[in-house]
């Protein structure tokens, strides 16, 4: 193990070698892509985040108001942070639910991604510490105050589409984002500057609740995913008839995106959907018992909305 003094004086060649080692190992672990950017204050994102919160686009997701400074500066999450490693993990599935069913977002077909990807991140962190030396860092998957799409863009992985999701040429947008923040200097990738959405407005036009605004912004308080997962209160009557049978999450903006014609099926066994899930009819969902719910969604992210939440969503969709 090498001490921090030695680590700080790595040569350019060693920094490049360390960077290559990390990217090769990330690929071996199954990550779709790996990009690296310098850990610093997100100056451009600060006013955007502040305005987004002021517009109440986060609805009742009060946690979005917390840790404002940490969301903008990774050095407040990891002391002396120097690098943000951004990673993509594919979840696209070419398997689909039957037509006569209430719909679930593809990311929730299998087991909860948080645990699966976090395990891989710790494997990567352990690899870095074993191969490079004394490196301090933290792993993040979606549930921490990290502006993951901004970092992925800065790391060269893609651009942020009109639906506010990261899009990568030849890979689309059906992937999770994850990060390692390290106190290790690495070679940094160039920020992805070009917006390849052009004049396309397919996602804006297709959104049934008009949650996608014309300036690459999502009004989260109108998003079907917000209503069916995040909102714990009663669903607003103003949204009746607008859920298009989505009972957990929503993939409409991704399904219509032309770039997702390049999506390829994932090869993660733990993301494979249960046959029971794919073949359940609307009637099956309406009659589902808590016991069956626990069986089908034993390790699923759908547990987040709970049995009562899922039944609430189905009842709301049905009562037109």
- Pair type for strands 175-182 and 246-248: unpaired
Q: Exposed (0-12), middle (13-18) or buried (19+): which is 168, by Cβ within 10 Å?
A: buried
Helical segments of the chain, H only: 4-8, 12-28, 45-54, 68-72, 113-131, 148-154, 202-206, 224-225, 252-255, 275-279, 282-286, 290-296, 306-318
How far apart, in whole angstroms, are the C-alpha atoms of residue 40 and residue 215?
A: 25
Residue positions annotated with a catalytic role: 142
Find where tokens 């014609």 sit.
Answer: 261
Helix (H) and strand (E) counts in the chain? 13, 10
How far apart, in whole angstroms, are the C-alpha atoms of residue 293 and residue 290?
A: 5
């Amino acid at each position: 193990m090498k001490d921090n003094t030695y680590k700080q004086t790595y040569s350019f060649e060693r920094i490049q070698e360390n960077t290559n080692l990390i990217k090769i190992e990330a690929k071996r672990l199954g990550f779709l892509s790996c990009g690296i950017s310098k850990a610093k204050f997100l100056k451009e994102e600060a006013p955007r985040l502040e305005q987004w919160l002021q517009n109440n686009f986060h609805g009742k997701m009060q946690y979005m108001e917390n840790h404002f400074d940490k969301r903008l500066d990774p050095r407040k999450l990891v002391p002396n942070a120097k690098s943000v490693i951004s990673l993509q993990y594919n979840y696209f599935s070419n398997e689909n639910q039957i037509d006569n069913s209430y719909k679930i977002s593809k990311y929730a077909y299998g087991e909860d991604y948080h645990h699966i990807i976090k395990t891989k991140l710790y494997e990567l962190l352990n690899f870095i510490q074993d191969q490079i030396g004394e490196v301090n860092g933290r792993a993040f998957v979606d549930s921490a105050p990290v502006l993951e799409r901004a970092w992925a863009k800065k790391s060269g992985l893609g651009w942020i589409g009109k639906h506010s999701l990261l899009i990568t040429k030849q890979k689309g947008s059906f992937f999770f984002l994850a990060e390692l923040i390290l106190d290790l200097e690495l070679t940094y990738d160039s920020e992805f500057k070009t917006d390849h959405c052009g004049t396309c407005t397919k996602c804006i036009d297709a959104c049934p609740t008009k949650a996608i605004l014309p300036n690459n912004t999502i009004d989260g308080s109108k998003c079907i995913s917000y209503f069916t997962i995040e909102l714990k209160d009663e669903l607003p009557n103003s949204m009746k008839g607008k859920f298009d049978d989505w009972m957990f999450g929503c993939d409409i903006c991704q399904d219509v995106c032309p770039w997702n014609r390049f999506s390829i099926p994932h090869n993660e066994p733990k993301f494979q959907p249960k046959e029971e899930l794919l073949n359940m009819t609307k009637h099956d969902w309406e009659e589902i018992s808590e016991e069956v719910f626990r069986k089908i969604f034993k390790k699923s992210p759908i547990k987040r909305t709970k049995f009562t939440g899922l039944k609430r969503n189905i009842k709301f969709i049905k009562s037109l």
